[in-house]
Structure 1
Amino acid sequence: MNTQLLKEQEIKKAGIKSERKRKSSEAKIAWLFMAPGLVLLCLFVFWPIIYSVPLAFTNYSVISETKFIGLENFTRAFTDTNFIVSLKNSMLYVIVVPFIQLFSILMAILVNRKMAGIKFFRSAYYIPVVTSMVAVAIIWGWLLSQNGVVNYILMSVGIIDEKISWLSNFDTALWALMFITLWKGLGYYMMIYLAGLQAIPQDLVEAAQIDGANRWQVIRHITIPLLKPYVFFCSLISLMGAIRVFDEVFVLTSGGPGNATLTSSVYIYQQGFQQFDFGYSSALGLIVSAIIMVISIVIFAFNKKGGVNPY
């Protein structure tokens, strides 16, 4: 009896060792595949972030002597009118976030059907995401110009009485850029929501329909609750992207007219690579990063459980 127990224990120990070796081997392979990406992240993301922290406490400049100046850069930031305006514009950009998420969910629901040509529509909606921002700028710059198609259509239907230069007008430039951001980001979030929709068990949908639920009730009581993890993830990424928006603004308006479209990322770039005030630029970057971190923590705090597993 004791011999049999000893054999069973030995077999169990051998099985545990074998499982540990298998997991260790899988971990090594996983790290091997991740290594190139991690090296690039360390070189171009983590190292610049770490290096920028001590840099923010100096007056570092390419053309002058570097000195430690303590909190002077941060004090200067909160009295800098241009930086305050850029923060305000970046926060206004957050208005885009709920619209992007709402329209993306609706688009995902529309293309989550089995019908002829649906792959074409999915690809068409995703094209703006992979289109170069320079190409997008050329197209939208032409569409929104004073003699562009947008003015022609709006005047034809009687919405406006005179031509508007949408990207050169102080009152409309920022809203025009926000619309372009909305248009360009829809396809990206649509694909994420589409993956979420396809992960929802069809048994739940069919059971609800058998019980008499209509299309809207299925979306409200099944689809949306089960998409909550995706909504949380997409909203967080979208919000961070809205505060850090750079490409659209830099290519189309460079912050103009005046400071109407000046965002925090553009202003940080201007201070660092146009004024060569890298110490001040680093301080501004840390301030914006702190704001994003606080907002992210708030979103995490208010996030409620959702998805397939909790249900």
Structure 2
Amino acid sequence: MCRTDSSAIRPKASALGRHGGSQAGVQGGKGTHWTTALAPYLFVFPAFAIVFIFVIVAALNTCRLAFTDSTLLRPGKFVGIENFVKIVHDDYFWTALLNSTLYVVCVVPFMVILPLMLANLVKGNSRIMGFFRTSFYTPVVMSAVVVGMIWTNLLDPKGLVNSVLESLHIIHSPIPFLSDRWLILFTSMFVTIWLGLGYYMVIYLTALANIDISLYEAASLDGAGPIRQFLYVTIPGVRSTIVLIMMLSTIAAFRVFNEIYVLTNGTAGPGGEDITMSMLIQREGTGIQARTGYASALSLIVLVVVGAMLILQQIIQKRGEDS
């Protein structure tokens, strides 16, 4: 009988095995590739869904409501620009716009300059500098209610500030910090600055850490003192951070709400003369008789005004760099 040589068959079988294994590897590789490509999107999807529903959809719905006469209890109908015409003739709107604009003009320069000076003073690694950094940052983590209670008690006619001033015979009658139209506004500005110093100081500390120390050494060898080093090394080194903080503080100042609301116990001062744009939107957009269409129109105006301020800042900055 003729015997078949098994050694001749083995190479074919091994080749078949290698070929089949390579096909399985390719198929497995394709599956792994798709899983790897899809994994990042699965991680991002929950955050994207939250942003899409509560930011994008809400913003589009606000734009829609701004052109309707809807209230809390009825959807309303399309009325065109009627809400904006009412806003122009609303005295509260012009008062709120004035107060919010004054807030930006008075608060933003301090928010840009003071935190930078503080960060430059406490940028060391010693324990005492760590203590000061913690102390300056503590107000940031405090709630608005606690801050309001602290400053309301301090500035009350019988509070600590008036009592100390009277005991030193600096004043003869209590200063109406919480009852005068302008004093309430400027007191709120002071509280806003006090709250924001620590937050923006931390941002500046990060920027200062990225400045090359050799620049300070070269400036020192050229005879530059601390002030000249601050002006010609520190400020140019954190210029982009200054722009960022200017933008953030502008948005926060124009949308101020907590400070004035807490200091005035929600009344916006005598006769509502210290009302801001955010407080006006809250007043018109909440409650049983809320005018959601009117409040949405106010929100669009805030968006346009803040956007115009940011664009103006960018133009001024660009012209300064070009010159």
Do they superpose with TM above 0.5?
Answer: yes
Counterpart of 1:53 (choices 52, 59, 63) is: 63
Change (3 A) 1:30 1:117: farther
Is 1:193–1:230's contact at 8 Å kept on the other side of the alignment?
yes
Q: Partner letter of residue 299 of structure 1? A: Q
Q: Partner letter of residue 219 of structure 1? A: F
Q: How does 1:284-299 map to 2 (within 5 A)?
A: 284-299=298-313
1:159 Cα deviation from its structure 2 partner: 3.8
Q: How does 1:290-309 map to 2 (within 5 A)?
A: 290-304=304-318
Larger radius of gyration: 2
1:170 Cα deviation from its structure 2 partner: 2.1
1:165 Cα deviation from its structure 2 partner: 3.2
Stretch moving more, 29-38 or 247-256:
29-38
Counterpart of 1:258 (choices 271, 294, 299) is: 271
Cα deviation 1:235-262 (Å, max 9, x = unaligned): 1110111001111122221412212320
Aligned with 1:117: secondary structure? helix
1:271 paired with 2:281, answer no
Aligned with 1:187: secondary structure? helix
Counterpart of 2:47 (choices 14, 37, 40) is: 37
Change (3 A) 1:45 1:64: closer
Q: Partner letter of residue 182 of structure 2? A: D
Cα deviation 1:149-202 (Å, max 9, x = unaligned): 111233344443211231122231111111110100110100001111111010
Tell me how far apart the structure 1 counterparts of residues 37 and 306 of structure 2 sit (CA, whole Å).
Answer: 32
Q: Partner letter of residue 257 of structure 1? A: P
2:117 maps to what in 1? Answer: 106
Counterpart of 2:131 (choices 116, 120, 124) is: 120
1:11 maps to what in 2? Answer: none
Stretch moving more, 28-37 or 157-166:
28-37
1:92 maps to what in 2? Answer: 102
Counterpart of 1:68 (choices 68, 78, 93) is: 78
Counterpart of 1:82 (choices 72, 75, 92) is: 92
Tell me how far apart the structure 2 counterparts of residues 168 and 157 of structure 1 sit (CA, whole Å).
Answer: 23
Change (3 A) 1:31 1:151: farther
- Structure 1: where are the runs of 5+ without partners? 1-23
1:44 Cα deviation from its structure 2 partner: 2.2
Counterpart of 1:229 (choices 236, 240, 251) is: 240
Is 1:229–1:306's contact at 8 Å kept on the other side of the alignment?
no
1:187 paired with 2:201, answer no
Stretch moving more, 114-123 or 102-111:
114-123
Aligned with 2:270: secondary structure? coil
1:217 maps to what in 2? Answer: 228
1:33 Cα deviation from its structure 2 partner: 5.0
Is 2:184–2:260's contact at 8 Å kept on the other side of the alignment?
no
Change (3 A) 1:279 1:101: same
Is 2:66–2:296's contact at 8 Å kept on the other side of the alignment?
yes
1:124 Cα deviation from its structure 2 partner: 1.4
Q: Once the two structures are aligned, what percentage of the paired residues are identical?
A: 38
Is 1:189–1:234's contact at 8 Å kept on the other side of the alignment?
yes
Change (3 A) 1:96 1:73: same
Tell me how far apart the structure 2 counterparts of residues 224 and 157 of structure 1 sit (CA, whole Å).
Answer: 40
1:241 paired with 2:249, answer no
Is 2:63–2:296's contact at 8 Å kept on the other side of the alignment?
yes
Q: Partner letter of residue 110 of structure 2? A: F
Aligned with 2:165: secondary structure? helix
Q: How many residues align?
A: 284
Q: CA RMSD in A?
A: 2.3
Aligned with 2:271: secondary structure? coil
Tell me how far apart the structure 1 counterparts of residues 249 and 67 of structure 2 sit (CA, whole Å).
Answer: 30
TM-score, normalization by structure 2: 0.82
Aligned with 1:165: secondary structure? coil
TM-score, normalization by structure 1: 0.85
Change (3 A) 1:298 1:260: same
Q: Partner letter of residue 69 of structure 2? A: N
